[in-house]
Structure formats: C-alpha cells, structure tokens
Structure 1
Amino acid sequence: MSKSSQIILSLISIACLIAFLFYAQSNFDAYTVRILNLIAINAILAVSLNLIYGFTGMFSLGHAGFMAIGAYVCAILLLSPEQKQMMWILQPMFGPLQNLQVPFFFAVVLGGICAAILGLVIAIPVLRLGGDYLGIATLGFAEIIRVVITNATPITNGSLGIKGIPQYANLWWNYGWLAFTVAFIVLLLKSNTGNALCAIRDDEIAAKTMGVNTFFYRTLSFTIGAFFAGVGGALTAALISTIDPKMFNFLLTFNILMIVVAGGLGSITGSIIGSVIITVMLEWLRIVEQPIDFGFIHIPGIPGLRMVIFSILLMGIILFWRSGLLGTREFSWNGIYRFFKKNSEARSGDRS
C-alpha cells in the first residue's frame, strides 16, 4: 500500500472519530458519555504505564501515586478562592494557594509536571533496583504519597477530599490529550531513544556493553510515564468533580496494569483496545454486585465481586495468554491490507 493511501485512510479515520465525538456529545446519555470519557483517560494511563513496563521493562506499581499528584494539583488550581475558603474547614488553606486559580489546560499541564518532578525524585534512588524489588519500592512510594496527601490538610484538605471541582474534562479534552499522548510516545519510540529503551528491556547488560546509559534512559522513561499519569489524574479529577485519598490506592494501579497486560506489553494499540474492553466490562459487570431475583431464587449482591472476576481473568491471561490481545504488534494499514490480501488469495486457492 502506498504512503499516500495510508495518509488518506488515516485522515478519513480521524474525521470519522471527530464525527463520532460530535454525535456522542449531542445524542448519547450522560452515563454513556461518562464511559467514553473513562475509556480515553484509562487509555492515557495504560499507554504511559506501557512505556515504563512494556517498552522499558521496569515493573512499576506507582501509577496511582502519580495520578493522585496530578489530580490534587489540578483540583487546587481549578477551584475558586471562595470554594477553597468554604471547603477547607479543618485548617485554613496554605496562604499562596488560597487565591491561585488558572485555566484548565495549564492546570492539567502543571499537574503532569508536578507528577513528573516527583517521578524524577523517586526514580533516582529506586531505579537502581530491578524486577520485583522495583515493583515493591514503587508501590511503597505510591502509598507514601497517599498518606502524605491524607495528612497535608492545609494543602489537600486531608481525608475530607476535594469536592465541587469544575467538570471541564469533556470528550474533546480527554480524546485530545489521548491523541497527544499516543503521538508523543510513538514518536519517542521511533527515535533513537526508543531504540535504547527497547534494548534495555530486552537485555540491560548487553545495552550497557554497547555504551547505552541505562540509568539515564530508565529515569527518562519513568519520568515521562509519571507525567502522563499525572495528566490522567488531572483529567480524572475534572471529570468526576470529587477526589479523596482513598481513590488512589493499589486497586487503581491494578486496574491500569490489567489493561496493559490484557492489551499486550509493548503495544500502544493493545493498550487502547484493552482500555475499551476493560472499561466497558468493568461497568457491565457491576450487575454481579447487585441483588438478582429470578422469582424462585434470590441471589444477594456481593460487593467487590466484579474485581474478583477480573482478578481471575488477569491470572488466566498471565498463565495462558501472556502476550495479551496483540502482543507486541501495532495497528498499521499495511498489516490490514496484507491480512485481507492473504485471505483473498487463500479463498481463490480453495476455489481452484
């Protein structure tokens, strides 16, 4: 397939997506629109975690902590001085933040930058570890962040959380940030930096032997992943309008990790497809947590049962389908063209 044909097909696909978003914004109910927004945010988080885990080979469990930083920074910067004065009832808000208010775009960017700075601070001591030790260390730092947020009452309002956050994160903002995230990470992976990251993932010792500064590239990958996790947290805060420290526990990181593993480690396309499937199924499976009455038999609702089901599914994927839905493969027009051409030739051969 020629380059011009691929460009035309890509432009048509983008136009169809934009038309779909216009239609969804005007015709879908609020619940369906909320799910579409969650798909975009989860895709941002999954792609950023895939950069760290799937493409660089660092097993990180700290995404929830970076999301919390992005969410709280964005929420504090979006609230008006009057809202802050009414909401901070346990202790007055820290002076300089009381009257600070910025537009939504800058609040999201600053949330991502703060998460990236914290990711850099964490990366310097932690990335000297590897394997399971790295996962345990990042999980510990995520819990430390959550505890600090709970106790930093003059800044975060403590365990009461923040309510009444302006809901600016609509379909356009969320899918716009998703497009930027995917474009940035794809361009990064196609550069020499991406080659270095994949070399570290495949064999870190060999990469060091070839002169690759593995610590620098691992730190860079971790910091970039933390930035986009902060962006995802900021968009989450501006979507649901209420946040508190309990939201950002290990279960949140587990959900994102489940998307990455199900879609395929080392596949951006897999992360996006996994986000669609997992997000929709998480919503559909809420029915198993509700009481079910068949007339002759009554089944009481079991809170948390949907996560048990998803845990079993994740274990099954890890044990029997380790490559996930797409493995390391990516979407391409050439790949689709070759697939249909191969099927067409096979059918022609059968007829003959």
Structure 2
Amino acid sequence: MSKRLSVKTKTILTILFVILMALLITVADKKASDYVVLILNLIAINIIFAVSLNLINGMTGIFSLGHAGFIAIGAYTSVLLTLPIEQKEITYLIKPLISPFNRIELPFLPAILIAGLVSAGFGYLVAAPSLRLIGDYLAIATLGLGETIRVIANNAWSITNGALGLKGIPSYTNLYWSWGWALITVVAIASLVSSSYGRALKAIREDPIAAKAMGINVFSHQVMSFVIGSFFAGVGGALWAHLITTIDPKSFAFVRTFEILIMVVLGGLGSITGSIIGAAIYTVGLEFLRVLESPFKIWFINYPGVPGMRMVVLSVLLIVLMLFWQRGIMGRNELSWDSIVSIFAKLKRGGKR
C-alpha cells in the first residue's frame, strides 16, 4: 500500500503545477498559431461549462437540460456591458437599445462578474419552482425554460437585437482570461464538493428521502447548487461571446446543452477530473474529425467529404465508449496527487519484475 502524501507536499505540488500551466499558457500565447490558441481557449471555456453542469447533474443529481439558457444570459449581459456606445448605436437599427445599457460601457472583469451574477439570479428564478418536480418532469421543465430564454432573445429586439444578433464584440478573451476562470471554476467547485456541503449534495444525489430524514434541507441545497452552476455558466458564456465576437439566439439552442452533457457523461458523471478530460477530448476530437467534411484520398479511393460527418463519427465513437465504459472515463473517481503517486509506484514495481 502506497504512503499518502502530506498536506504540505500536496500544496507544493499543486503550486508547482499551476506555475507550470501558467508558463505553458504564456508560451502558447506567444508562439502558437491563432488556430491553436482558439482551440486552447475553447477547451478552457468548455471545461467551465462541463464542470458547472456536472455540479448540477453529477454531484446533486438534478437532471437539468437548460444550461444553454444561462450561457446565453451571461453572453448577452457581458456584451451589452462591454460593447462600445458608438457600436451600440450602429447595431440597434430596428429598435434602439433600452436604457441604461445604451449609456454603459464597462471593463471586461466587472462585466464577467455581473454576467455571472445575472445568470445566477435567473438560475434561482428557474430553480425555485422547477425543483419542486422530480425525474423526467424536471428535465422537461428545465429544457423548456432554456428554450424560453432563447425564444425571448430571438424577439427582444430592444435588448438582444433579435435574430440579427450582436456583432463586432470586443475580442477580450485570451488564454489568460479563459484558463484563469477555468482554474477558478475547478478550484471553487472542487472545494465545495469536498466540504460538508458537498457531502450533503452527494447524499441528496444518492437518496433525497434518506438525506431529508438525516436533517438535510434538500430543496435549499439543490437550489444553491443550481445557482452556483448557473453563475459559472454565465461566466463561461461571457468568455465565449468575447472569443467568438458575434452571437445570435441560434448560438444557444438545445444542441449547446447536449454538447456539454456529452462532455460530462464522457468524462464521468460526478467527477470534476472527468469533466476536464471530457471537455478536452470533445473539443479536440471535433477538430480532428473535421477532415471528414473535406475531400481527401485514401490510397486509390477518393472520398468527397460530407458536411456533418464528423458529428456522426463522433456519435458512433461515444456509443462504443458508453458500451465499454458506462460510467464514463473516470466514473465518479478523481485524479489526485495520491493516485498519481500510486500509479507511478505500480509502474515502477512492474518494471522491476
């Protein structure tokens, strides 16, 4: 049995790992191509989405399908706060932008925080009535509420510019912003899950009735989990909007929630490490499979390329994965320094044989 590392050793290793990641991000920001930088940004933002949804679905056991709605709220809120006033006057031609957004222009950081808080507020308004439901009824309710937000965005011309969307968004998101917030999201939710509050959430996930019998306020814990997940979804939406620099209601259809759910299930429901791995694999996998949508040649066979084929192949791969790893890559396990040391110890013992 391997010896467990002390808290001091784990802290030092964690600090060294963060410093190493910061150095790698700095090198990538200066040396990598724009395409690679875009993919790295998308990985970090998808990590925020996956980890925040995993808190709701995996840790608390709430089957929510409305995550795209909170991403939309965060994206639109941050854009309305950071878009230059002159740009707003040019963009809103059909109906003028309502006050006070037509006179506000804030820096990126407060805009992100406000976007997260607004999403959290809407998360509370959604959770308070819908969490009275259970099972499939709750999933349908959250799906409907997420679609309602998209429909409102499609018709609220004086706020979202309707179906025309918003363009010319300031390109504030870079590797430091995206990975910095990804680190904050992971640390915050991991700390929450490892606390007594997190243990109560897991108890609710396993058996809400038993948890209630033990004195846990099931409803308030579920609402708080939903609100925290919505906050980070809004933050991720703000980062995504300022990375892509153009948004419209179609960007936040149910497909977005479905993609994030794939990342969570792929990595493992209930595992933060799994969400990180799932987000990275899904993002990079989509780009690798993009070649299937363009003409190419294998030996003497010419393949014409089929639009959308990468999603078909990815779906088949995910089905195969679920057949052999039904709980995802990590299941409910987490990668820790103790487990890493244990893996190396086993490899070392195996090499001596």
Alignment TM-score > 0.5, same fold: yes
Counterpart amino acid of residue 251 in structure 2: M
**Structure-2 residue corresponding to 1:167:** 171
2:131 and 2:323 mapped to 1: Cα distance?
A: 27
| Mapping for residues 268-279 of structure 1, pairs under 5 Å | 268-279=272-283
Q: 2:87 aligns with which of 83, 100, 103?
A: 83
1:140 and 1:290 mapped to 2: Cα distance?
A: 36
Percent identity at matched positions? 52
Q: 1:134 aligns with which of 134, 138, 155?
A: 138
Counterpart amino acid of residue 307 in structure 2: P
1:192 and 1:151 mapped to 2: Cα distance?
A: 43
* Residue 179 in structure 1 maps to residue 147 in structure 2: no
* Residue 309 in structure 1 maps to residue 339 in structure 2: no
Q: 2:112 aligns with which of 93, 97, 108?
A: 108
1:19 positional shift? 0.7
1:2 and 1:213 mapped to 2: Cα distance?
A: 34
Q: Deviations over 1:221-258 (max 9, x none)?
A: 11111111111101000111000110111111111111
1:293 and 1:314 mapped to 2: Cα distance?
A: 26
Counterpart amino acid of residue 178 in structure 2: N
| Mapping for residues 8-47 of structure 1, pairs under 5 Å | 8-47=12-51
Q: 1:243 aligns with which of 218, 241, 247?
A: 247
Normalising to structure 2: TM-score of the pair? Answer: 0.95
| Mapping for residues 290-301 of structure 1, pairs under 5 Å | 290-293=294-297, 297-301=301-305
1:3 positional shift? 2.8
Residues 123 and 222, structure 1, Cα contact 8 Å, conserved in 2: yes
1:177 and 1:142 mapped to 2: Cα distance?
A: 24
2:186 and 2:240 mapped to 1: Cα distance?
A: 18
Q: Deviations over 1:11-62 (max 9, x none)?
A: 2211111110110010000000000000000000000000001100111111
- Is the partner of 2:167 in helix, strand or coil? coil
1:301 positional shift? 2.6
1:293 positional shift? 4.3
Q: Which moved more, 1:86-95 or 1:42-51?
A: 86-95
- Is the partner of 1:147 in helix, strand or coil? helix
* Residue 231 in structure 1 maps to residue 271 in structure 2: no
* Residue 253 in structure 1 maps to residue 249 in structure 2: no
- Is the partner of 2:278 in helix, strand or coil? helix
Normalising to structure 1: TM-score of the pair? Answer: 0.95
Figure out how many residues of one structure are paired with residues of the other and give that number: 349
- Is the partner of 1:110 in helix, strand or coil? helix
1:319 positional shift? 3.6
1:191 positional shift? 1.6
- Is the partner of 2:166 in helix, strand or coil? coil
C-alpha root-mean-square deviation of aligned residues, in Å?
1.5
Q: Which moved more, 1:321-330 or 1:4-13?
A: 4-13
1:31 and 1:200 mapped to 2: Cα distance?
A: 43
Counterpart amino acid of residue 6 in structure 1: K
Q: 2:269 aligns with which of 265, 268, 286?
A: 265
* Residue 94 in structure 1 maps to residue 94 in structure 2: no
- Is the partner of 2:55 in helix, strand or coil? helix
Q: Which moved more, 1:308-317 or 1:235-244?
A: 308-317
Q: Deviations over 1:89-142 (max 9, x none)?
A: 111111321111111011111111111111111111111122222212111111
1:210 positional shift? 0.9
* Residue 154 in structure 1 maps to residue 147 in structure 2: no
Q: 2:60 aligns with which of 43, 56, 62?
A: 56
**Structure-2 residue corresponding to 1:285:** 289
**Structure-1 residue corresponding to 2:348:** 344
Q: Which moved more, 1:7-16 or 1:243-252?
A: 7-16
1:28 and 1:345 mapped to 2: Cα distance?
A: 39
- Is the partner of 2:319 in helix, strand or coil? helix
Counterpart amino acid of residue 334 in structure 1: D
1:277 positional shift? 1.1
- Is the partner of 1:233 in helix, strand or coil? helix
Q: Deviations over 1:251-300 (max 9, x none)?
A: 11111111111111111111111111111011111111122345854433
**Structure-2 residue corresponding to 1:119:** 123
1:329 and 1:294 mapped to 2: Cα distance?
A: 40
Mark the runs of 5 or more structure 2 residues left unpaired by the alignment: none
Counterpart amino acid of residue 252 in structure 2: F
2:196 and 2:10 mapped to 1: Cα distance?
A: 24
